[in-house]
Amino acid sequence: MKLFSITLLLTVGFCSTAEIPQRKSYDGYKVLDIIPQDQQTVDYLRQLMLNDDSLDFWTEPSYVGKLVQLMISPDRLSHITRQLENHDIRFTTFRENVQDVLEPMWREIDSRSGRRVFDIDDFNTFDDINLWMSTLAAVCRTGFTCEVVNLGNSFENRPINSFRLSKSGESDRRTIYLDSTIHAREWISTATSLKILDNLVRGTTAEALRMVDKYDWVVIPVINPDGYVYTWTSDRYWRKNRRPVGACFGTDLNRNFNVKWGTDGVSHSPCSITFCGPSPASEPEIQAVQAEMHRLSSSAKALITLHSKGQMWMFSWGTTVNHAGSVCERSDDHDDMMVVTDLAADATQRTYGTVWTRGNSCETIYATSGSTMDYGKAGAGIKYTFTLELRGEDWVIDKVYIPMSYLEVWNGVVALVDSMP
């Protein structure tokens, strides 16, 4: 672990001067909406997801009546729609041409090339995020210590940086852990975690002061640096990290933790977007984060990991009983967790009158194994572990929603902190 020396960079922002890259085009890609009417349809779609690596399920098949979203490339479109029709599965088109959403975003971002400055209310590059974290540490609250710590490096040798905010002279305080961007394309999670971190360090409201007075904080804004950089330079919808496995690239890092690895909701095909890796904790990013969780195991009060999309507050477990895929596994403290989750989710949705689903992860969204949240609970012994799926109907979301995402999540986190016994 390396502690960065912090230089005083009290500038307005940081400029990026990289050339405008060539990125993957999603021209002709469509996104279909499917609402399964029976269990047979759910099972068929699930097999399609696990066996066809060319498909990107934006919303995975889980339950009868629960929306499934599927992105299909133009060369596979007629084949897949014909299969759906042959199985009497009805569908509608959610996104006619995915590139139509990407084009204005890239034009706006690329127009700033060479004069880019960090903006807390915008999406920011990986390098600018790291520079900003150093600047933030240099303006730490009086009576507190701020450190930017390198937990380790990614496969492509980028730092996995953690921001630690602690009260000076007090060594026995409890800690709240928060991370984001384990899935590279979930930019709203990155932006939301940065605004939360900024408020913890510089906020002057009674809530902000209470949060730092009560707990120390550890925030990891980008767990997946290589994947995040790749979404800026090459493929906006990239999900995994970038370590090659055979002829394909990347492991789904949120399936790679060493907890019931490779059992529920994963693919063992390296080309799949839910590939769980060749072995438990095989990826350097996960090794670094697991080590940090164990460092915090005796002090951590709660673990919160931010994802998108779908507006959900979830807790462990993500797995099914005996990994049979039919009955979701519940933790022994399920009822305790439900109480605090309801309070946090209620506070979140009161912010803008939105609806936030809440509950056990497997029951709320779908079965998964090897996740951040489950490892925090089973591997590091942290009772209060949560996964949040933030707002948005696409991973490409306008920057105008960043302040809204931040405020509703902040309100939920405050309610959570205040409700934990």
- Per DSSP, the three-state class of 300 is strand
DSSP output for 399-420: GGGHHHHHHHHHHHHHHHHHH-
Cβ–Cβ < 8 Å for 259, 323: no
Which positions are annotated as active-site residues?
389
* Residue in the structure block whose two tokens are 């995020």: 129
Please, which residues have CB within 8 angstroms of residue 366's CB and are 6 or more apart in sequence? Answer: 60, 61, 62, 265
Cβ–Cβ < 8 Å for 155, 226: yes
- Per DSSP, the three-state class of 219 is strand
C-alpha closest to that of 161 among 288, 298, 305: 288
DSSP output for 357-397: EEEEHHHHT----S-HHHHHHHTS--SEEEEEEES-SSSS-
User: Which neighbouring-strand residues pair with 313?
Assistant: 358, 388
Q: How far apart are CA 180 and CA 198, in angstroms?
A: 15
Check whether the bond before 58 is cis (ω within 30° of 0). Answer: no
Angle, alpha carbons 239-137-241 (nearest 5°): 15
Neighbours of 168 (CB within 10 A): 10
Cβ–Cβ < 8 Å for 312, 354: no
Cβ–Cβ < 8 Å for 7, 134: yes
DSSP-H helix ranges across 154-258: 187-202, 206-214, 225-233
